[in-house]
Structure 1
Amino acid sequence: MKRVKKTILEINTKADILKKLKEVGSKPLTVTSHSYEKYGAITIAKAAKKSLSSIGRKGTEKPAIGIIEVILSANRDYNKVVLPNLKRIEKLHPNLKSVKQLENLLKRTSKEDFFELWGHRDNKKYETLCEIIKAINAMRKSKSESDYDTIHKWAINVDLYNLKSDPIGKIKNVAIATTQHLRMVFGVETVKPDQRVKEVLENEFGLEKISDIQAIVAVQDIARISNKSEFEVDQILVKYGSGYYSKYTKQLSVKDIAKNLRELQVDIDIIAKATRLSKKQIINL
């Protein structure tokens, strides 16, 4: 029988979850953290709170830039790769706001020139952009309906368990993380289960090798326990992951050490104190 992966509450007590979330949130943003350039070295918890005001802002003010940001962000370092390209695009095209303007830009610009503009020579991302624009135009109820209203209506009705029937979720190379990111940009308080979020859930909360859906459910559980919104918890995790995890080094060594100490019959209280893992996490290693 296939083993069902444990939920966050099967591995951690509510007290453990609250304690770990507080520890993670108390750390200051580092130069690699999302939002460091905007907020400086304030605590992650404060930065996450401030980020709440950004929900839907880009989707309202500059839908075209919001869509580009979502596509560029897939499997890319935001600070190093995405942000510089967005700044250049907005500098070269300060009036680029609507989906129609973006569509016209694509029509009058060769693929090679567009690659230069957005900083990626990636056919998959280019095709994804074109397909998302087509989907948005097909969803639009009337010519007078704004880009934000069209995409927001879609965003609030997405069924993550049935993306194959979703007008945007079914697009090749979109998947759950990109769908969730687009929903966030267009006003939905939800979770983007990107690699950083998964790493923090794995290394700090003991959830190993989880799927995108399992990551979303875990953040929803944390949000419910901590009386925070899903988006706020998402931002705490992603800012911590981007600021404190090396791109090239996994932090699983802490668990490996804890497991070895347990095999050597070291007292669990001592292991927990040394590694900052919960007793429940150590028992489940």
Structure 2
Amino acid sequence: MAELSEIVDKYMTKTTGLKKFCDRCLRTQRWNGNVVLMVVDAAFDSIGLNYFNSIVPKVVEFEEAFVESGVVKNLKELSELPHERVKNIWANERSWGVANSVASYLYEFGQGRGLSDREALRKWAGDAPLEDWKQDPVGRIRGIGLTTYQYLRMMGGVDTAMPDKIVKRVVEEILDKAEVEMPTSGDFEFIKTVDKIAEISGYRPIEICWMTWLVQSEGDKIRMEKYRDVLDRI
């Protein structure tokens, strides 16, 4: 397993600053700690568009139009914001429904326990099941898949991974190079495999997950270099 650890190291050396970004994610401090923007981010990302080119600019546009203006200050107000108000920014009604529904559930969840929006996300994420995720109130929301569910849990402080196709491809590439056989076909098996690689390599599952996206090339740079300033913001 020493070779597997060395190969993971080689990938990780390309992502200077990744640990700091993942620390911020696990502290629920992405988007300057604004849970509204974290929920919007996850909802927009649920339809599979390019994250840095498509999702991040739209979340920034939403932030400028609704958060900085004071129109949406918390999850309750996000849950009540109709699609008609945002369709000039985000046309996909189904994924906007994800934002409304997640915000509504987390608001009610927090209200019933005397928690702030941030505390509600963290409490939900910490208690939310993995293998029975479809039985969870968030997992039952129309438009939420396991990847989005895991993304929300990560922003709520859970050190885990998403079974995203890019994450799977890079992890399988690493395993092939190390000539190590671990299951990757099933989503739950894959998440457990990332946990095992993390244990062997000394990195956290969240770091392995984000590394797989950030080592992808766009033009003559990898994403970690191309979007370094954006990562510092989000």
* 1:70–1:182 contact (8 Å) kept in structure 2: yes
Q: Which of the pair has more CA radius of gyration? A: 1
TM-score w.r.t. length of structure 1: 0.66
Q: Does 1:229 align with 2:204?
A: yes
Structure 1 match to 2:3: 16
Is 1:166 the counterpart of 2:142 in the alignment?
no
- The one-letter code of the counterpart of 1:69 is D
Query: How far does residue 156 in structure 1 lie from its aligned partner after superposition?
Result: 0.5
Task: State the shift of 1:212 in Å.
Answer: 2.3
Cα distance per residue 1:202-223 (max 9 Å; x no partner): 2332468623222211210111
Give the ranges of 4+ consecutive aligned residues of structure 1 lying more than 6 Å apart after TM superposition: none
| 1:220 match: secondary structure | helix
Cα root mean square deviation, aligned = 2.4
Q: Secondary structure of 1:140's partner?
A: helix
Alignment of 1:83-122 (within 5 A): 83-93=56-66, 94=68, 95=70, 96-104=72-80, 106-107=81-82, 111-117=83-89, 119=90, 121-122=91-92
The answer to whether the 8 A contact 2:126-2:156 is kept is no
CA distance in 2 between partners of 1:83 and 1:103 (Å): 20
Deviation at 1:59, TM superposition (A): 7.4
Offset at residue 236 of structure 1 (A)? 1.9
- C-alpha contact 1:59 1:185 (8 A) present in aligned 2: no
Partners of 1:190 and 1:208 lie apart in 2 by 17
AA aligned opposite 2:217: G
Matched residue SS, 1:161: coil
The answer to whether structure 1 residue 66 and structure 2 residue 42 are counterparts is no
Match of 1:80 among 53, 63, 69: 53
Across the two proteins, how many residue pairs are aligned to each other?
208
Identity of aligned residues (%): 21
The separation in 2 between residues aligned to 1:73 and 1:47, in whole angstroms, is 23
Following the alignment from structure 1 to structure 2, what is the Cα–Cα distance between the partners of residues 89 and 59? 12
Please name the residue that 1:176 is paired with.
Answer: 146
Measure the CA separation in 2 of the matches of 1:201 and 1:233: 8
